[in-house]
């Protein structure tokens, strides 16, 4: 079992550009959640996808959007990048039904210059 995998691991973008981050959940999991972790802070919930729909959303602007595919993998898109979007982006997978632990991927380090 490969666990939760994210790509790419590192990314450098310029202000105003757009970026897409990818996540493949742990085998058997159907729910993907995305978190943003700025330097020196705890992870902040961005949104969660289940059955290809956004189920919950944190306090993030509409520049942050996502998608979930039929195979449960997910993408996080950020438009019009700002310097403040520089962070570690973490993907977590889980099962929506029942008590299951959320497993995290290794993260994507995004740097906006």
Partner 1 sequence: ELKVEQNPLFLSMQEGKNYTIYCNYSTTSDRLYWYRQDPGKSLESLFVLLSNGAVKQEGRLMASLDTKARLSTLHITAAVHDLSATYFCAGVQPNEKLTFGTGTRLTIIP
Residues in the site for partner 1, rule: CB under 8 A?
Answer: 31, 33, 35, 41-45, 48, 50, 55-56, 88, 90, 92, 94, 96, 99-107, 109
- CB closer to partner 1, 18 vs 30: 30
- Which residue, 17 or 27, has its beta carbon nearer to partner 1? 27
Nearer to partner 1, 83 or 99 (CB): 99
- Closest distance to partner 1 from the beta carbon of 45 (Å): 6
Strands 87-94 and 108-112: antiparallel
d(CA 100, CA 79): 32
Are 30 and 95 within 8 A, CB to CB? yes
The CA distance from 88 to 36, in Å, is 6
């Amino acid at each position: 079992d490969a666990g939760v995998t994210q790509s790419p691991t590192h990314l450098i973008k310029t202000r105003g550009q757009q970026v897409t981050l990818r996540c493949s959940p742990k085998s058997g999991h159907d729910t993907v959640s995305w978190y943003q972790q700025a330097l020196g802070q705890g992870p902040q919930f961005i949104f969660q996808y289940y059955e290809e729909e956004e189920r919950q959303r944190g306090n993030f602007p509409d520049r942050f959007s996502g998608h979930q595919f039929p195979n449960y993998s997910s993408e996080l898109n950020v438009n019009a990048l700002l310097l403040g979007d520089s962070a570690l982006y973490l993907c977590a997978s889980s099962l929506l039904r029942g008590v299951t632990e959320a497993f995290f991927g290794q993260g994507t380090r995004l740097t906006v210059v």
